[in-house]
């Protein structure tokens, strides 16, 4: 199948002169229609920057974004508008993205009318009520007159999702969409998002720093791991979490706290050579993980940037030294 979205050598630099940082460095991946891909990695590794370039909110310094096979830079204005509608982004903090002076009705009917998705106000209202049902904000009739501050964090996030759905997107970038929501209701939002995959054939790029959430949401999909602006490993979720090959992926998976005392005590402990993460302003040469990596090979890892190469077990990894080594995470 042809990918719905593809990025090639996507790069984003911020700042000028000595202060330039490369927040995203030559990132390439393709996502098939209906697939769920999770982008994971620690704070500052470039996840949101990648997501914003995918959604057309930020212009890449170099590299391409292709949507439905077309380079978005080559689209005419109608084409570009259509692409911007087809790719919606949902942010971590719905409070910041919802206008506090508007009711849910206004928040939902305005885009429906503006983009001619409905004929008139009455249809817009009916569609808004339908969308509230879709995101499980029921009874919809009670919800539609509320202001954002009258809703809980989880409910606001549902409104943000409903608003994204007004323009009938094919692709949703969910950037830490449930990170601020209490654990007890997180799952119901994830379940609702998963339903959109089937109901509306929406393809997801799910951005999170939480590996447990990534595993759950993309169990049948893929995980892509970023470190300091580069992809270090990707692959089918079930392979990646049971048989990670990149030393950084292994370090992350072994470090992540587990909500299970037995697992917590049976995790392999991986000692990094250096605890602190380097600054983007002063990146190490070669593999940027080499100053911390327990498998560092002097003369090789600190000279050459490892290419992201296909793995026999599925996916890609950027570590020639360890790509064939299986390391059990539980001991």
Ligand X SMILES: Nc1ncnc2c1ncn2[C@@H]1O[C@H](COP(=O)(O)OP(=O)(O)OP(=O)(O)O)[C@@H](O)[C@H]1O
* Sites of contact with Mg ion (CB under 5 A): 48
* Rounded CA separation 92/73 (Å): 28
* Rounded CA separation 235/312 (Å): 11
* Rounded CA separation 330/137 (Å): 41
Q: Count interface residues toward other proteins (CB under 8 A).
A: 52
Contact between 164 and ligand SF4 per CB under 6 A: no
Contact between 23 and ligand X per CB under 6 A: yes
The residue from 127, 170, 215, 322 that contacts ligand SF4 (CB under 6 A) is 322
Q: How far is the CB of 9 from ligand X (least distance, A)?
A: 17
Smallest CA-to-CA distance from 225 within 204, 242, 211, 243 is with 211
Concatenate the DSSP letters of all residues of 206-248 into one string.
EE-S-HHHHHHHTTTSEEEEEETTEEEEEEEHHHHHHS--SHH
Helical H segments across the chain, by residue range: 47-54, 77-86, 94-97, 104-114, 121-134, 140-143, 153-165, 183-200, 211-217, 237-242, 247-255, 261-266
Draw the binding track, 207-226, toward ligand X (x: CB under 6 A; -: no contact).
--x-----------------
The residue from 7, 55, 112, 293 that contacts ligand SF4 (CB under 6 A) is 293
The residue from 259, 282, 298, 299 that contacts other proteins (CB under 8 A) is 259
Q: How far is the CB of 172 from other proteins (least distance, A)?
A: 20
The residue from 62, 138, 242, 304 that contacts other proteins (CB under 8 A) is 242
| Contact (CB, 8 A) for 127 and 113 | no
* Contact window for ligand SF4 (CB under 6 A) among 43-51, 107-115, 259-267, 286-294: 286-294
Q: How far is the CB of 272 from ligand SF4 (least distance, A)?
A: 10
Torsion of CA 238, 239, 240, 245, to 10 degrees: 160
* Residue 295 interaction partner, one of Mg ion, other proteins, ligand SF4, none, beta carbon < 5-8 Å per kind: ligand SF4
Contact between 173 and ligand X per CB under 6 A: no
* Rounded CA separation 275/126 (Å): 55
| Contact (CB, 8 A) for 290 and 284 | yes
Q: Which is nearer to Mg ion, 48 or 157 (CB)?
A: 48
- Looking at residues 30 to 59 of the shown chain, list those that interact with ligand X (rule: CB under 6 A): 41, 43-49
* Residue 329 interaction partner, one of ligand SF4, Mg ion, other proteins, none, beta carbon < 5-8 Å per kind: other proteins
206: left (phi over 0), alpha (psi -120 to 50) or beta: beta
* Residue 259 interaction partner, one of ligand X, ligand SF4, other proteins, none, beta carbon < 5-8 Å per kind: other proteins
In this structure, the number of other CB atoms found within 10 A of the CB of residue 38 comes to: 28
Q: How far is the CB of 48 from ligand SF4 (least distance, A)?
A: 24
Binding site for ligand X (CB under 6 A): 14-15, 21, 23, 41, 43-49, 209, 280
């Amino acid at each position: 199948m042809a990918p719905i979205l593809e990025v090639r050598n996507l790069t984003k630099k911020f700042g000028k002169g000595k202060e330039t940082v490369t927040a995203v460095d030559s990132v390439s991946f393709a996502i098939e229609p209906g697939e769920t891909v999770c982008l994971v990695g620690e704070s500052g590794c470039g996840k949101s920057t990648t997501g914003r370039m995918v959604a057309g909110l930020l212009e890449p310094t170099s590299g391409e974004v292709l949507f439905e096979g077309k380079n978005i830079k080559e689209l005419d204005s109608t084409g570009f508008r259509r692409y911007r509608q087809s790719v919606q982004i949902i942010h971590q903090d719905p409070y910041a993205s919802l206008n506090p002076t508007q009711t849910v009705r206004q928040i939902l009917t305005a885009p429906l009318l503006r983009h001619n998705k409905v004929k008139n106000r009455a249809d817009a209202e009916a569609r808004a009520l339908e969308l509230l049902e879709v995101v499980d904000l029921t009874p919809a009739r009670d919800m539609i007159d509320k202001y954002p501050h009258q809703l809980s964090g989880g409910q606001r996030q549902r409104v943000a999702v409903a608003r994204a759905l007004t323009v009938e997107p094919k692709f949703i970038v969910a950037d830490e969409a449930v990170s601020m929501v209490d654990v007890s209701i997180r799952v119901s939002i994830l379940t609702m998002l998963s339903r959109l995959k089937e109901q509306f054939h929406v393809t997801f790029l799910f951005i999170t720093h939480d590996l447990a959430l990534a595993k759950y949401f993309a169990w049948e999909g893929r995980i892509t791991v970023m470190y300091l602006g580069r992809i270090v490993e990707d692959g089918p979720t079930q392979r990646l979490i049971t048989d990670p090959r990149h030393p950084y992926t292994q370090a992350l998976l072994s470090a992540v706290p587990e909500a299970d005392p037995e697992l917590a005590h049976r995790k392999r402990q991986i000692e990094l050579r250096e605890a602190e993460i380097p600054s983007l302003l002063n990146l190490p040469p070669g593999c940027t993980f080499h100053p911390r990596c327990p498998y560092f090979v002097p003369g090789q890892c600190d000279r050459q940037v490892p290419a992201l190469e296909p793995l026999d077990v599925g996916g890609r990894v950027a570590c020639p030294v360890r790509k064939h080594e299986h390391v059990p995470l539980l001991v």
